Structure 1
């Protein structure tokens, strides 16, 4: 569903206007053009800020920023980086551990969340918890507020302008082929434009190997959301571990890969930042990499 103010903003941009009237509130709102004419960020969290809220504090960006921006003191490295799409849950965490074992590129975390609620979709995790994860891990976090009426890929493109070089776009998909195929289609043009490849470091890794790696990390992993498919069987706040996996039945996927439940990895509990992503020990050696133009090669 398109926002009326978004259509008004686009019309104003087309006409080169500095402001428009929000049809929902009647307020005058500066356009991106009008804000750019100022020459710097005013720090007010403007709806169309073209400066990535650079004059706002990190706390204010997290609480009310409307444009993609860095939510940690660390920002993008100078050299090409792996951009890991980070949900705050176990799959993206296991993908992070796999990237550390590879040791090929610096890592940037990218998290999308609803602009109004500051909640990560499906995981039901507040962006503050994700920031806490990134700070503990010592990794830069790029926050991407999602707006009604604007496409997901438009927001991703805008966010990734803040990353000078992208080596790979990394996803924690495990085995759902339709999700991976969607990513291949949705990201193909963008990846090709940036000279990047799509990388799936934990694709096809057996669950026993994954849970062993999660145990080796020493972190606490808890259920953060439960859908109807697992109600009465899985509870929010329950620890996700081998014992929980063993008792799941009735068609519930042991890793919740069909959306039955989602998780939050409390990296700040049970392990220091280096322990959480330690590269020692046996880990998954699976995973695949696809070029942005659609060809594929084993990694």
Structure 2
């Protein structure tokens, strides 16, 4: 019988690929999604996606969602305290492992391992060390659809915010930018794909710059954004 596992879920492509890989392997049954939400903005931390869209993702995936609420720019003490509470609740329910969609940042992996050990949990990294160029194209080939919701203007023009994550997006990336944005170059919102029962209907909103990042606001809509609307 597969072992129950929770997945730290940002709503972006890497966490969706991690969920798909966990299901493909068959060793684990993903029983819960865990996402950090910034209370003052009512949005997914770092990605800036509205909470209502996160909840629609979880509903379409068919998994319960735990929202770990933190203030804007929380200190490490506050962040670790709130995450520790969530991990403690998982442990109390008999869940012993939490999965992450990290790819190759060793210091981040070590941090997660230490953090979970304090709650008596272990980490899983189902897509660890997957070549990011291949992973990006696998994501597209498998029928996932995503929009770029956050970019780091230091390495990627703000004009990439709001673009569809597709072959044209990958071809236009400047040299040195990781195809999966693993160094924080960009973040995505996945609104369709094989892990979803139905697409998430969104519309492109305003593109703004704040706190050193460029964000494209996504709005709930009657139907999913078209490929043409998300083209550069």
**TM-score band (shorter)?**
0.7 to 0.9
Q: Secondary structure at the match of 1:159?
A: helix
Q: Distance in 2 between matches of 1:271 and 1:106?
A: 16
- Taking a change above 3 Å as real, the CA distance of residues 97 and 185 of structure 1, as seen in their structure-2 partners, is same
CA contact (8 A) 1:225 1:236 kept: yes
The yes-or-no answer on 1:167 pairing with 2:96 is yes
CA contact (8 A) 2:116 2:122 kept: no
CA contact (8 A) 1:112 1:120 kept: yes
Q: CA RMSD in A?
A: 2.4
CA contact (8 A) 2:12 2:189 kept: yes
Residues 133-158 of structure 1, C-alpha deviations (whole Å, 9 max, x = no match):
11011111111111456522221222
Equivalent residues in 2 for 1:107-122 (5 A)?
107=30, 108-122=32-46
Which of 166, 172, 182 is the equivalent residue of 1:247? 172
Larger Rg belongs to: 1
Moved more, 229-238 or 169-178: 229-238
For CA contacts below 8 A with separation 6 or more, give which structure has more relative contact order. Answer: 2
Partner of residue 179, structure 1? 108
Unaligned runs of 5+ in 1: 1-78, 277-299
CA contact (8 A) 1:233 1:248 kept: no
The yes-or-no answer on 1:263 pairing with 2:218 is no
Corresponding residue pairs, total: 192
Q: Distance in 1 between matches of 2:78 and 2:44?
A: 16
Residues 177-215 of structure 1, C-alpha deviations (whole Å, 9 max, x = no match):
22112222332222xx2xx32111101001243124312
The yes-or-no answer on 1:94 pairing with 2:20 is no
Partner of residue 214, structure 1? 139
Q: Distance in 2 between matches of 1:274 and 1:135?
A: 9
Q: Secondary structure at the match of 1:240?
A: coil
- Taking a change above 3 Å as real, the CA distance of residues 166 and 123 of structure 1, as seen in their structure-2 partners, is same
Q: CA deviation at 1:161?
A: 4.2
TM-score, normalised by the number of residues in structure 2: 0.74
Partner of residue 76, structure 1? none
Q: Secondary structure at the match of 1:228?
A: coil
TM-score, normalised by the number of residues in structure 1: 0.58
CA contact (8 A) 1:211 1:242 kept: no
CA contact (8 A) 1:245 1:255 kept: no
Unaligned runs of 5+ in 2: 200-232
Judging by fraction of residues, say which structure has more strand: 2
